[in-house]
Amino acid sequence: MLASEAAMTKSYLTTSTGSKAKVHRRKHAIPVIKHIAKDNDQEKQEVLTKPIELSRVIHFLEDPLAATLKERQIFALKKVVKRCQKGFLLKELADVFKILYICAEKSKDHPEYTSVLCDLLKICRLPFLKEKTSDEVTYAQTVKESFSQMGFLMRVPNAEVRNQICHSIISVYSSVTSKHSVDGLHPTSLGYRVQLLEQSGLAETLVLSMALLENQPAVKLQVLQTLQMLSSSSDVNCSLILKAQGAQQICFHMNEPDPSGQVLFRSSEILWNLLERGCKEEVTAQLSNMDCIMALKEAFLHQLLNGFRHYDFQLRNDLLVITTLIAENPKSPLIESLFAKQLILFVTFPELKSHNPLVRNLKLSYNNEDFEMKRLLLNLVVVMSKDLSALQLFKEGHVVLALLHLVKPTAAPPEGQSGPRNWTPVQQEELQLQALATLATVAPLMLDDYMICQGNTCLLLLLEWCTERDAYFGQGHSFHGTGGRGSKKAQMRYCVRLLRSMVSLGNEAINQDLFDQGAISQLLVIIMQMEGSPEEEDVITLEIKADIQLILSALCENNPHRKELFGSEGVEMTVHFLKMSTEKFYSGLGHNKLILSTVDCVWSCIVGCYTTEDVFLEKEGIFLLLDLLHSSPRNMQNVVLGTLLELCDNPKTMSHILAWRGQKSLTTPGLLLQLWRQEEAELGVSRDLYGRISDPKKPILCYYQEEEDSQVSLPANRPSAAVMDVSENLRSKIYSVFCKLGFEALPGLSTEDYITLSIVTRYLDFKVGEVWDEISKELSLEGVRPVTPDEEALDTIAKMTEDTARRVITQQSSMLEQRDKEDVSEEKRMYTEIRSNWKQQELTAQSWEHFVAKTSNYKILKETKEHQERSIDSSRPKPKHKEAIFHPTQIHGLQITKFCGRVMTVESTPAHLTGGPLANTELALERVPIQGGALRKLPTATEDPEYFNTVSVK
């Protein structure tokens, strides 16, 4: 019998016909005595000296005739194990895993195969070997299927086999590939193995195999460790785990008895990895069921109440983070499981005392982990506030009171005395800031609790503390403390933000309470102190200023009494910020928001109260608004112009508006018309080259109104495009301002401005026509035919609008013609002036040439001298004629009058002319001779009479 078994074994080990081998028996003619004569050890030695092929081993294991040769099969398998000690070849990997599969099947009935199976799986820890570089591509599918088969081997009920599979998988990620070749073979790269392992779906198989490990806690822990490794470094593995409902399965079993204490830790780490690298929504959806919530609740409470190690505190916080992420899912039964109520109890601990058994004996060590848990609990409150059903739990748990308690500044104990153990100053600061941020979300939802707890008083006291100068030194390390290092700026930032959230609700009780406590004056003092501070402006400072102005606007809006108390101090504040340089709009720090809040403050706190309006006008506020309107960006002009329009109701405003002058003597009407043209260009209104109406049927129609013309009929609760156009652009506001200013006798307008003004004047008529046109189109879209009188009325209105547009076009054309005539006249005048200037230049040139000629040509000089002498002679008086009659110049008595060196003698008129006694009149004029260009002394009466000229008067 032994001889026959040996002969059969040898025949199977030395015969191969490929993948489908046939069984050949040796004929009895072949002697087998030599094999019988040899002992067992000698035969084994002979077999080991010959090379072995895996395909023969597979044939030997699958041969039904060799089913009873268990020892020989195990012997052959051990030889395979010894041969592959350095790793499996890629080309032999398919045969290797076929052998593994056969061994797994045989191990069900014969446990002896289990050890060989473990030995082969142990070799899988080593990198696979390749003979050529192309082997990685050639055998990629084989490697992927091999990894998949490794996962399927988890069905083997043996714990050692399952552990070995997990160790082999972990080694794929942790083993370091050697760069040195082994007998001419090279190991595959780590990235190659990891990529194919991901594609094999092994992670999903491991999750499904956990259902087989109920009675093997050690193996389950090993599987969790493997899943932790797979999920920590691969998004693909995380997706596969979630595909197999891995998050839910892991959460179900995280509280099972575990002597090692690692199951909960491994489970939480896997959940963390799934949340970070996988789909967070999918993870929270799988955990949002009652069983998972109860499991998390049990684990958290156990760690909170019984944990004492640093490791326990960290695990507790990790579970709290997972719970917070689950709370973001509105479908999670966090409240129904009563877990939320217990968490709210821990939120208010230790600020509020409670007799609940959960916190009666709970003590915090105030270390970093407890501090982190407190911050996570505050964050959980913000997340849960999105669910309105949680507000009742907040009310029962007095969450607002606990948060206000955290907000109050804590006084340091006197020197030499140690207070009760509490948070450190740095921790207290961060909790204070986070409590303020939490209240900004929770307090607007719980107004009754906020008022009962006197939230306004608490915040105003905190603001007063922020403005005090003391030895407080802010750390500013946390997210909420950004920019507040060394000061109380961070506290002021979140306090003002919280107040802004409260007053923006429009609750009259809250606003009245703030007003009664002097919030307006306190905020004005704070903002002016910040403005006068020598510190450089930053983002946080500008945010605080803008929020304070928004608070003031919300308090004073629609309340004349509060506007009056806003007073001159408030006006001074707004004027100061309106003087801000427009260059700061684009600084990126938030000056644009600050100027917008300032304009809103003018609109809400000044407009509507004549006392503050008059002070604003005295401070040249209108000029500042017009400067801002001129230089501000496009998106700010609507607000500024709206504020200016509201101020136009004050009769004193008109003179300020007309007196304003901008760059290049730009007037307010010119600025408004310029804005009108810019608005129409942006809206795509049809205009010709000169700004005239190009289409009388669409005088002011925008491009988006034309796009909506072909659409379906609008519902009754939706305004039409023509109505929306009134509120969405500047044209209606510009028209309203001109209605206040008037449309005639406006200063500083050009012909282009008058052309635009002709359109502005008819804006209301054109807009009414647009509305009626929309009504007509709406009726046609709905298939409604108006009655004949109504149809005629619609046609008449449309024709009137078109005729108005044509009259405006005619008026605009006449303006252009008049401008052309004026241009021609101006051009002629200019050319006349140019001609005169050239003539004068020619005369000057000729004079200079004549002067130069006199100095260089004696003949010309002589002629000039002669001409000069003749001129002098001709200017001298001629001698009197002998028969000339000299008339005295005395009228009714001799009178001599001297004017500027001339003497006039007047005698009375002769009697025969006037009927008087005097018979003649003598008039003597004294001439002043001019010689050499100088005045000479007048001659006396005794001098030569030839210097006097006689005049006969008839």
pLDDT per residue over 327-341, tens digit each? Answer: 999 899 999 999 999
374 in Cβ contact with 331 (< 8 Å): no
Residue 934: pLDDT band (50, 70, 90) is very low
Q: How many CA atoms lie within 13 A of 826 on its CB side?
A: 6
pLDDT above 60 for 37: no
Q: What's the pLDDT band for 42 if we cut at 50, 70, 90?
A: very low
Report how far residue 474's alpha carbon sits from residue 537's, in angstroms, rounded to the nearest whole number. 18
Q: Is the pLDDT of residue 39 over 60?
A: no
Contact 451, 507 (CB under 8 A): no
Q: What is the DSSP letter of 692?
A: -
691 pLDDT more than 80: yes
Residue in this structure with the two tokens 């207290």, named with its chain if needed: 428
Q: How far is the C-alpha of 531 from the C-alpha of 577, rounded, in Å?
A: 9
pLDDT for residue 136: 85
State the average pLDDT over residues 125-131. Answer: 86
The model's pLDDT over 409-421, given as tens digits with 9 standing for 90+, comes to: 866 555 444 445 6
Q: Is the pLDDT of residue 3 over 50?
A: no
Q: Given a cut of 70, is residue 780 above it in pLDDT?
A: yes
pLDDT of 929 over the 80 cut: no
pLDDT at 660 over 90: yes
Mean pLDDT of the region 646-675? 93
pLDDT at 503: 95
Q: How many whole angstroms from its chain centre is CA 287?
A: 33
Tens of pLDDT, residue by residue over 289-305, are: 999 999 999 999 999 99
Residue 770, judged by CB atoms within 10 A of its CB (0-12, 13-18, 19+), counts as buried
Q: Which H or E element spans position 935?
A: strand 934-935
Whether pLDDT at 177 is above 80: no
- For the record, the structure tokens of 708 come out as 């909506």
For 897, list phi and psi in degrees, rounded to 5: -120, 135
In a 3-state reduction of DSSP, which class is residue 551?
A: helix
Mean pLDDT of 204-209: 92
Judged against a pLDDT cut of 60, whether residue 913 lies above it is answered with no
Give the pLDDT confidence score for residue 189 in this predicted structure: 86
Q: Is the pLDDT of residue 4 over 70?
A: no
Quickly state the pLDDT bin for 572 (edges 50, 70, 90).
very high
Q: What is the mean pLDDT of residues 840-854?
A: 89
Range in 446-450, 675-679, 776-780, 816-820 the model is least confident about: 776-780
Looking at residue 710, what is its pLDDT?
A: 55
pLDDT higher than 70, residue 890: no
| Cα 362 to Cα 158, 304, 307, 696, distances in angstroms | 45, 9, 11, 83
Per-residue pLDDT, 124? 87
Mean pLDDT of 41-63: 58
CA angle 369, 370, 372 (to 5 degrees): 65
The tokens for 891 are 């009228």
Q: Which pLDDT tens digit goes with each residue over 604-654?
A: 999 999 999 999 999 999 999 999 999 988 888 999 999 999 999 999 999
Which residues lie below 8 Å from residue 505, measured CB to CB, with a gap of 6+?
Answer: 444, 447
What local confidence, expressed as pLDDT, does residue 935 receive? 38
- State mean pLDDT over 751-768: 94
Q: For the chain, what is the mean pLDDT?
A: 82
Would you state the pLDDT for residue 924?
A: 39
Residue 357: what pLDDT?
86
- What ranges make up the beta strands (E) of 583-622? none
Q: Highest mean pLDDT: which of 479-483, 572-576, 579-583?
A: 572-576
Give 500's pLDDT tier (boundaries 50, 70, 90): very high
Residue 902 main-chain phi, psi, to 5 deg:
-110, 140
Distance (Å, rounded) from C-alpha 283 to C-alpha 278?
8
pLDDT for position 646: 93
Percent over 90 (pLDDT), the chain: 47
pLDDT band, residue 178 (cuts 50/70/90): low
SS3 518: coil
Average pLDDT over residues 139-149: 90
The model's pTM: 0.75
Integer-rounded Cα Rg, in Å, for the chain is 54
Cβ 436 vs Cβ 488: under 8 Å: no
